[in-house]
A and B are shown apart, each in its own frame.
Chain A
Amino acid sequence: MKRTLLASVIALFFSVAVGCSDDDDSSSSSSYNLNGVSYNAVDAGTLTHGTTSISGAGSIVFVDPNAGQGNHYSLSFTLEDAGSLTLTSNAANDLTAGISLMFSRSGTTLTAKIKNDSSEVDISSSFTDVDASGSLSFQSDFHNDESPTHILVWSGVTEFTEDNAKFNSEDGGEAPGQGAGNLWGLVLDKASVTAATVTEAKFEEE
């Protein structure tokens, strides 16, 4: 009787476990949204989540993927001294295997780098005119269908051309490879983000 009962419990346990399992790799925790765009925390850290801003230290991945390989990102943020913000494009859901654009602050100096999981390229010389202590706003194209990823960064423009880009990876500062995924996210460290959006790439290759 006891053996039958135990066997029944074990069988019930496994049937519930199998029934509830699926192929989905649900590695992220509960969703938040920034200005209506849903994201998950990859590393909750000390992040403070509001509907119009995210601040603190940690990392997030936006829920909706980018089907296209050419994407345009708009970021508005501020950095505390020694703080940084990293935008990662074309990544896996843990923000690995992507290609990143990182901004960090030291006093009023802004440091910028392009990175992947194994290497980085310093592109700070393109941002020497930027006061890192103020509000920062950049738009960037990631053309991940090119090898290596073609990255352009603009600030304060309405038309996106190579001529008015603050940085163009084809003019020096070549990206260290391509991203391998379809997701994008942010890594914050003493940073506050008030806007983060993605659209189709704005600069059209000729």
Chain B
Amino acid sequence: MSRYHLRLCLKLTVLIALSQSYQLKASNDGSGLSTAIAADLVGAFNLSKEDGGAKDSFDVRETEISFYAPIDHLFEGILSIAAHREGGEALYEVHEASISTSKLVSGLSFKLGQYFLGIGRLNRFHRHDWPFVSAPKVTNEFFGSEGVLDSGAEASYLFPSSVYINLTAGVTNGWTYGHSHNEGKKPKIPTHYARLSSFFEPADLGLATGLSYLSRTSAEEEKLQLIGFDGVAKIQSGSFPRFLLQTEAWHREVTPKTGDKSQSAGTYVYPQYGFSKSLSAGCRFDYFTVLSLKDANGSKIANSQYGFVPTLTYKSSEFASFRLAINHETTTQKNQDTTKKQYAELQSIFILGAHPAHDF
């Protein structure tokens, strides 16, 4: 066992011991504190002699411990701490620390704290709950490898109608956006976003869709705008989804203080078939392009990155799963050689303790 893994195990042991002591105390005073620990283990291995971009190693990609409970008769709280491997060391950070309520105003829920922003599909779920191993290209480019989180306030309102229509809107600090290793700077306009979503359930089909918008103007007066669509369709067969179709499509525009505007767009589509409650197979299709790419002469340059990722998932229960994915990525750009990458990913996820219920 490497020194990194030994230190990680020791830290997790301390955290588990602490959580168990809290749980004992909680069970004594009836506070209802729940604890969940999730471990996401991923290996990536090149399938060709050329560099496929994989590390050829198996690592603990992430571990997460979550505490959640009712705080009092009105509010609920969640604290989620995650460890990621960076520079060979376990880097601990708070993923979520928020207080929320849905009991003040009928149909209105409100959250204050640090959280993953309520836009799109993947960004609203922890990475270990995704139906595939790694982020699609468009998600990685626009939201980072595990999504965008920030501190602020978010409200969600369910309209009183016969049709399910929900509006989520939020404002967060926006000092940073995406992968950053410093505190960032106070933006000219903080990050603000909204998502309008709906849900339909004709017969055995469940269909959830959403339209999202996000914007931010950095301290350097660079304006970021994102607009996207997300959709999930499920056909249930008893207690498991016989068929799942998940997709997102996003457009991003970045306008610097001086210089040309940059526009990019991308999408993924993931159909999955459930053979049984334990076994499912899917194949994700990815596409990404920089729409505004020009050469030094000002001529537009056609470019694209596309890929398909066949994925096989085995779940012994909702608490343990194993996944195999084969990534085929192709990058094309005018005047340049087409590059291809092929690598395999192996994933194992396990959850200890209770896990919060998920959205559809």
- Measuring CB to CB, which residues of chain A are less than 8 angstroms from any residue of chain B? 23-28, 39-40, 61-65, 67, 69, 92-93, 96-97, 145-148, 150, 162, 170, 174, 177, 180-183, 200, 204-206
Instruction: Please tell me if the beta carbons of B296 and A65 are within 8 angstroms of each other in the complex.
Output: yes
Instruction: Please tell me if the beta carbons of A92 and B179 are within 8 angstroms of each other in the complex.
Output: no
Chain B residues with Cβ below 8 Å from A177 are: 220
In chain B, what residue has the closest Cβ to A183?
Answer: B296
Distance in angstroms between the alpha carbons of A28 and B298 in the assembled complex:
9
B299 is an interface residue with CB less than 8 A from chain A = yes
Contact of A146 among B180, B220, B297, B339 (CB under 8 A): B180
Q: Give the Cβ gap from A21 to chain B, nearest Cβ, in Å.
A: 12
Distance in angstroms between the alpha carbons of A84 and B299 in the assembled complex:
31
1/0 per residue B71-94: CB within 8 Å of A? 000000000000011110000000
Instruction: Please tell me if the beta carbons of B179 and A97 are within 8 angstroms of each other in the complex.
Output: no
Instruction: Please tell me if the beta carbons of A28 and B296 are within 8 angstroms of each other in the complex.
Output: yes
Q: Which 8 A-B pairs have the closest CB atoms?
A: A24-B298, A25-B298, A180-B256, A67-B303, A97-B259, A63-B296, A61-B296, A147-B180
Distance in angstroms between the alpha carbons of A148 and B85 in the assembled complex:
20
Chain A residues with Cβ below 8 Å from B222 are: 180
Interface-facing stretch out of B33-41, B196-204, B287-295: B287-295
Known: A65-B301, A145-B179. A204 touches B53 (CB 8 A): yes
Chain A residues with Cβ below 8 Å from B176 are: 147
Distance in angstroms between the alpha carbons of A182 and B261 in the assembled complex:
11
Interface hits, B21-74 → A, CB 8 Å: 53, 55, 59
In chain A, what residue has the closest Cβ to B84?
Answer: A206
In chain A, what residue has the closest Cβ to B176?
Answer: A147
B253 is an interface residue with CB less than 8 A from chain A = no
Q: Give the Cβ gap from B331 to chain A, nearest Cβ, in Å.
A: 8
Known: A180-B222, A181-B259. A93 touches B293 (CB 8 A): no
Chain A residues with Cβ below 8 Å from B293 are: 65, 67, 182
In chain A, what residue has the closest Cβ to B85?
Answer: A206
In chain B, what residue has the closest Cβ to A148?
Answer: B182
1/0 per residue B247-262: CB within 8 Å of A? 0000000101011101
Chain A residues with Cβ below 8 Å from B53 are: 200, 204
